[in-house]
Amino acid sequence: MVKHGQYRLNMEFKHKRAMLKLDADDHRFISAVYALKPTEEQIVLIKMYWQAIANEQKALEEVEILRKRVSLRRLPQSFDKILN
């Protein structure tokens, strides 16, 4: 039980560390885009593009969460042998 708790905390820490790195990368990327001095129309298009990418990533995360839930609810393979 303790190992499970440590594993979960370690995974949360790794996730937070990765998100912090991504936030820093995003900040540098956004700064680089605005350094190019885009027009208002280009800014609107860029924001739409970024939002589409964010939506796609969120959908992919949700698919992975659902896959994990399905795999956790699946019976072990030993049950398949018993039924056959």
Task: Return the amino acid letter for 57.
Answer: Q
Q: Where are the domains of the chain?
A: 1-37, 38-84
28-67 pLDDT, tens digit per residue, is 888 999 999 999 999 999 999 999 999 999 999 999 988 8
Distance set, CA 46 to CA 23, 37, 49 (Å):
18, 12, 5
Mean pLDDT rounded to a whole number for the chain:
84
DSSP 13-45: HHHHHHHHHHHHHHHHHHHHHHHT---HHHHHH
The percent of residues in the chain predicted with pLDDT above 70, rounded, is 81
